[in-house]
Structure 1
Amino acid sequence: MTKAEKTKQYIIAQTATLFNKKGYAGTSLQDITTATGLTKGSIYGNFGGKDEVALAVFDYNISKVKGILRSEVAKHHTIKGKLMAYVDVYTHFPKFAFPDGGCPMLNTAVEADDTHPQLKQKARDAILRWKKSIETLIEKGMKNGEIVKPVDPEQMALTIMATIEGMIMIAGLTGKPQYRKTIMLSVSKMIEDLF
């Protein structure tokens, strides 16, 4: 890795929490220089501006989430186990190395919906990839006979995702982390009912 690549990675890693907590609009160039200890010239020497940093940070934060989910799902050999891995991860959210500040998809989607088309597109793409991964698991479960009840894979994937994202928002907004477990029991039941 070149020195420039290392510097870019450093900037991304140092500002990942900043953007995830304060959002795009709330993060200033001064915040970025303070978080990194670098000058504005150094930031602009590595990125075309705040937009480029924000987009790279979104990718970085999403890759952390995807890595956690991929790793936990891979530990299971049945479709039920793979789907229940989502329940385990989000029920025990604090034990995993999720980005500080909550779900980057949720945070970005809410903020960028009407203000930043590129970030909105990145959040949309991440949501659609997540939906597809859950849909694929459900389709495999139906094909191999593990899932015995007829179900619309897209509808089930969207319902699971919406419940998880709603849980993150409710637990964070109310400051009641115990709501994670309460709400994830509903996701667990949805999954159990498929088998």
Structure 2
Amino acid sequence: MGKGEMTREFIIREAAVLFNQKGYFGSSISDVARVTGMQKGGIYNHFENKDQLAVEAFEHATEVLKKSFLQAMEGKTTAFEKLTAVISVYQNAYDHPPLQGGCPLLNTAIESDDAHPALKEKAQQAMGRFLELLRTLLKQGTEQGEFVEDMNVQELAIYITSVIEGGVMLSKLYDDNMYIRLNINRLLKELERYRKV
């Protein structure tokens, strides 16, 4: 990787954290310059505008999340173990998030809404991948005889996601990891109901 590409990657990494903490609309190119220690012109050498940087920074943020999920699933053999490992990534989402500032999916989904269509589309795609991961693990568990057959995979994947993101939002709002931890603990107990004994 050349020096220019390394600089570009550095800007993306720093912007990902900045945007996740302060929001896309709450951050300026001057803020990006401050956190990177670069001049605005140096940033514009690598990115056409703030929108392009925001999209690439969000893509980086979702890669950080993906790596967290893959790392959590390492060494797990059953679908249930993998599912609970993925969910547990969020156990300390306020105190020790995979990316500073909380869940980039939640933050971007709330902020982009209709104000930034490109970011909203990226957030939808990323959330779609997360839901697909949950559906895949639930389906595998059913096929392997770990879960009951009459489980609605789509409904449960959406429920799991809603419980997680709701807990993350409450923890962020009240500056207290308790909310997400309680949600995760309750969710893991509820999932036991779907297991075959």
TM-score by length of 2: 0.93
- In structure 1, the residue matched to 2:29 is 29
- In structure 2, the residue matched to 1:7 is 7
1:162 and 2:162 aligned: yes
Q: Which range moved further: 81-90 or 114-123?
A: 81-90
- In structure 2, the residue matched to 1:53 is 53
The 8 Å contact of residues 171 and 180 in structure 2, kept in 1 or not, is answered as yes
Secondary structure of 1:75's aligned partner:
coil
1:132 positional shift: 0.5
Q: Which range moved further: 167-176 or 181-190?
A: 181-190
Q: Which range moved further: 125-134 or 75-84?
A: 75-84
Pick closer, same or farther for the CA change 1:104–1:14 going to 2, 3 Å. same
Secondary structure of 1:165's aligned partner:
helix
Q: Distance in 1 between matches of 2:71 and 2:183?
A: 23
The 8 Å contact of residues 93 and 168 in structure 2, kept in 1 or not, is answered as no
The 8 Å contact of residues 33 and 39 in structure 1, kept in 2 or not, is answered as yes
Pick closer, same or farther for the CA change 1:144–1:159 going to 2, 3 Å. same
The structure that is helix-richer by fraction is: 1
Q: Give the gaps of 5 or more residues in structure 1.
A: none
Q: Distance in 2 between matches of 1:21 and 1:132?
A: 27
Q: Distance in 2 between matches of 1:94 and 1:19?
A: 16
- In structure 2, the residue matched to 1:74 is 74
- Give the residue type in structure 2 aligned to 1:102: G
Q: Which range moved further: 86-95 or 115-124?
A: 86-95
- In structure 2, the residue matched to 1:142 is 142
Q: How does 1:86-101 map to 2 (within 5 A)?
A: 86-93=86-93, 98-101=98-101
TM-score by length of 1: 0.94
- In structure 2, the residue matched to 1:153 is 153
Secondary structure of 1:115's aligned partner:
coil
- Give the residue type in structure 1 aligned to 2:71: S
Secondary structure of 1:30's aligned partner:
helix
Q: Give the gaps of 5 or more residues in structure 2.
A: none
- In structure 2, the residue matched to 1:190 is 190
Q: Distance in 2 between matches of 1:44 and 1:34?
A: 14
Q: Distance in 1 between matches of 2:17 and 2:164?
A: 21
Q: Distance in 1 between matches of 2:148 and 2:186?
A: 20
Aligned residues: 195
Q: Distance in 1 between matches of 2:105 and 2:139?
A: 24
Secondary structure of 1:147's aligned partner:
coil
* Same amino acid, percent of matched pairs: 35
1:32 positional shift: 1.1
